[in-house]
Amino acid sequence: MEHFDLCVIGGGPAGYAAAMRAIDLGKRTLLIERDRIGGTGIFNGALASKTLWEVANRVSSTNALMRTRGREPFSLSWEEVGKAMNEAIFERKYLYACHMQMLANNKVGPLLFRHERGSGRFLSPHTVRIERPGYSTDIQADHFIVATGSRPRTVAEIPVDEQHIYTSDGIFGIEELPRSIVIIGAGVIGCEFATIFSNLGATQVHLIDRADRILPFEDADVSELVARNLERKGVIIHRAAKLEHIAVEQGAVRYELSYADGRHETVRVEKALLSVGRTPNLEGLGLERTGLQPDPRTGSIHASDTRTALPHIHVVGDATGTNMLVNLGEMEGRHAVERIWAEKTEPLSYDNVSTIMFLDPEVAGVGSNEQDCQKRGIAYRMARIDYSCLARAIAMRRTQGFFKVLVTNDAEMRVLGMRAVGEHASSTIQAVALMIRSGTPIRELSELVHPHPSITEGVQECARMLLGHSLFKPTVFEDRMQCYTWTPPALSDAEAA
């Protein structure tokens, strides 16, 4: 029976990153993938949906210019849009395929990497069986990393058929742009697809939100700006709505909603998209033969800093059931390997993780937002500046958006978090993420010399506002700039007791 230092089950972003880090450390590594290397990071997730967003965003920008010139709107068929997506997928897939082939045929050093196509299943704590049609083999390894990814969460009452009612994986298989669609769930994925379809301009989009506002985990000013833009492009947002019933009838989708005030509403659309989160892929792994048992409520395996109750088995990426992002999965994959062989003892920190939501406008963030701080009772100072005050945004004619920076309410004013909403938002985040990690005071940011004109000057102006020497004064431009301090309300005597 062949033996490896490390066996990684799952070749998505987290598993692939783990395998590559193990090779760095000279470990003989086996990567098992039952389907396609790259997983949802390439085929029905990040790369695919962001390619759609880029194309749709360009269509929307072109049509905004067309309207000002009295021209007919520009449009693309789903076949044309899908062609761009498939080209992007092929390019990324080709990179992975070439890379793995060269690693597996290394002529310079030891052969450390092997890829096996098939499903991996534990037979014992140190033995895994790899199976595919007409093939079966058993291997042993000293260590294992479970990186089996996730799949869209389904709801028993919603009859998903991937023809009329789609999941966020199945939606990529549509054959033409629907005339109308309802999206169930107003989280990141739901709002991103609402943005894509509305920007392409051929689909009437309905968005069902159980909460009072979309993206409830973000501050109200962020979610309200995104909601206004969606509605401006014709999206109908059903706020604080409960889905009572949905069914396919005569080739269309009919759904019924109820509201807290007693109202009921029935709507017919062509298609539906269910977007209510994802669940880890842990079935069929034979974990019970290792002594590990998934949580019956969440379906995930309990792990502390990637390590399970068995020190030689780690879980990373979407398989953890939390933090389902490509960059976090890759970070966890590398971290697990370094815990095993590089004697890394410092636990993972998610405090300075940068995120981006591909909406209209795009939203990037790092660290805490205002509602996070207020829930935790953390005093802070906040500075916010609108894009309409920035020369680069004015030059681009894209003045919708803002920067918001939060710092500690003390003399040091160390960065707690930042939100950027608008054009080029994601390009402004990383320097602030580094400041959070290093505990750098905000004055360092204020003293940098930024290129002009650039969007990042808005971050610098926030820093200057907090220090009291901004170029524009918030007392003058109260509608475009804000700077204030929030402290937890004083406890009453009864609460304090």
> CA 51 to CA 57: how far, in whole Å?
10
What's the confidence (pLDDT) of residue 421? 96
Q: Is residue 76 part of a domain?
A: no
Domain-embedded: residue 53: no
Is residue 319 domain-shared with residue 228, that is, in the same domain?
Answer: no
Q: Dig out the tokens for 337 from the structure.
A: 């390997």
C-alpha distance from residue 296 to each of 282, 301, 302 (Å): 11, 9, 11
Q: Which of 235, 240, 228 is nearest to 269 (CA)?
A: 235
Pair 97, 134 in one domain: yes
Q: 133 with 189, same domain?
A: no
d(CA 425, CA 93): 27
Count the neighbouring beta carbons within 10 Å of the beta carbon of residue 239. Answer: 15
Angle between helices 13-24 and 326-341 (to 10 degrees): 30
Which structural domain, as residue segments, surrounds residue 319? 2-43+85-152+279-341
Domain end among 341, 364, 393 = 341
pLDDT at 107: 65
Report the candidate in 342, 334, 284 with the shortest Cα–Cα distance to residue 314: 334
Residues 231, 223: contact at Cβ < 8 Å?
Answer: no
Backbone angles phi, psi at 141, to 5 degrees: -150, 155
Predicted local distance difference test score (pLDDT) of residue 496 = 44
Asked if 368 and 474 sit in the same domain, the reply is yes
What's the domain count of the chain? 3
The predicted structure's pLDDT at residue 295:
79
Query: Does 99 share its domain with 213?
Result: no
For residues 212 and 147, membership in a common domain is answered with: no
Strands 165-167 and 119-124, how do they pair? unpaired
Among residues 335, 289, 290, which one has the least CA distance to residue 313? 290
Q: What is the CATH number of the domain that holds 121?
A: 3.50.50.60
Are 425 and 441 within one domain? yes
Lookup: tokens for 185: 């769930």
Does residue 495 lie in a domain region? no
- pLDDT, one tens digit for every residue, the chain (497 residues): 999 999 999 999 999 999 999 999 999 999 999 999 999 889 988 999 999 999 999 999 888 877 777 777 888 999 999 999 999 999 999 999 999 988 888 766 678 999 999 999 999 999 999 999 999 999 999 999 999 999 999 999 999 999 999 999 999 999 999 999 999 999 999 999 999 999 999 999 999 999 999 999 999 999 999 999 999 999 999 999 999 999 999 999 999 999 999 999 999 999 999 999 999 999 999 999 999 988 777 778 889 999 999 999 999 999 998 888 999 999 999 999 999 998 888 999 888 889 999 999 999 999 999 999 999 999 999 999 999 999 999 999 889 999 999 999 999 999 999 999 999 898 888 889 989 988 889 998 888 888 899 999 999 999 999 999 998 999 899 899 999 999 998 754 544 44
